[in-house]
Amino acid sequence: MSVADLVQKKNILITGGAGFIGSHLCDVLVKEGNVICLDNFISSDISNIQHLLQLPNFEFIKHDIIEPVDLEALPGLKKFKIPFHGIHEIYHLACPTSHYEKHEHQVATILTSGLGTKNILDLAVKYRSRLLFTSSSAVYGWPSDKEGKVYKEGDLGVVDHLGERSCYDEGKRYSETLLKIYRDQHDIDARTMRLFQTYGPRMSLADNRMIPRLINKAVTGEKMVVYAQPDDQTSICYISDIIEAIDRMMKSNLVGPINIGNPSPVRLSEIAEKIKKESGTRSEISYEEESPYTHHRGVPDINLAKSKLGWFPVIPLDEGLKMTIDDMRGSRVIGFEDIKI
C-alpha cells in the first residue's frame, strides 16, 4: 500500500481497540480506513490484534487515555498525515469491564470514564470528528423484577453510587452526561449506544463474567457455578451483531442513546446447559448466591434500533456459543489436550 493510498483513506481512532469488542471492530474498520488503535492492556491482550500489526494502515499505540494523547507527535502516525487530514471517526470503547471488581482496577475504571472520556471528547472537538461512545445497560441500574425488565431508552435507572459496581455503573452514566454536554456546547457529531451483554470469540479466559467463566470451567472439567437462580433471565448478543450495530450507528445521524442487545430473554440455566452440552463436559452445574458484581437482569427494547438503524440480532444462541467455545478451546491457555471430561 503506497503513501498515497494511506492519505486517501479516512483516519479512524478506536480506544480500547485491543479489547474483546474493540478488536473485532478493528477487523472491520481496517478495510475502510487507517486505524489507530489505543489500548493499555488492563483488560485486553495483544493477541487480539496480532494479525493486524503488519498492515500498513493499522497502527497500535499503547496508551492510557486517562492521560491526554497528542496524536500528531507520535512517529508511528506520521504516515496518516493527521495535521492535514485530521481524525474522521472516533470509536470510544475503552473502559475495563471484567476486572473492575478487583480493587486495584476500580480507580482506573472510573477515571477512564471521567478523565478518559474528556480527553477523547477533546480530540473530537479538535478534529471535528464523528464520535461513537459505547455506554452500557448498567446505566439502568438494578431491577427488582427477577423475571427480567424490558428497558427503554427513556427509562431512568437507579444506581447505588456507593455500591460494589459503582466505579463502572456511575462511570458510564457520567460519560453519557459529559458527551451530551460536549455535544451541546461544542456542537460535535457524537452519539451514544447502550450495549447489553455481549459474547463471542476473544473474550479473555481471565474474564469473570458469566459466559467466559462458565466456558472456562466446562472445558477444564471444573464445577460450573452460576451466581444466580436457574430461572433468572438475561440478554446476550453475539459479537458480530454488535459490530454491525456499531457500524450502522456511526453511519447514521442518530445521536441516541440507543439500546443494542438481544431482546429475547434467556434463562441462565439454559445458557449453562447449552455450554455444558456443546463443550462435551461432565462438569456439574450449581447455583449459588449472587455476587454484588453480578449484572444480568433485564432485556433491551430495541424498537428504536430496528426503526432507525434497520438492525436486529441474527446469530442464534446455539451457533454463537459454539463459535465462542471453539475459540476458547483453541486459545494458547486452554487447548483440546487440557480438556477433562
- Of residues 138, 93, 83, 85, the one with CA closest to residue 120: 93
* Separation CA 229–CA 241 (nearest Å): 28
Phi-psi region of 309 (alpha: psi -120 to 50; beta: other; left: phi over 0): alpha
Active site residue 168: yes
**Stated length of the chain:** 341
H or E element, residue 240: helix 239-250
**Radius of gyration from C-alpha coordinates of the chain:** 20
- Pick the catalytic residue: 168, 182, 227, 238? 168
295 close to 331: Cβ distance less than 8 angstroms: no
181 Cβ partners below 8 Å, 6+ apart? Answer: none
The number of beta carbons lying within 10 Å of the beta carbon of residue 338 is 11
3-state secondary structure of 113: helix
The number of beta carbons lying within 10 Å of the beta carbon of residue 118 is 17
66 close to 40: Cβ distance less than 8 angstroms: no
Could you give phi then psi for residue 4, rounded to 5 degrees? -60, -40
Catalytic residue ranges:
168
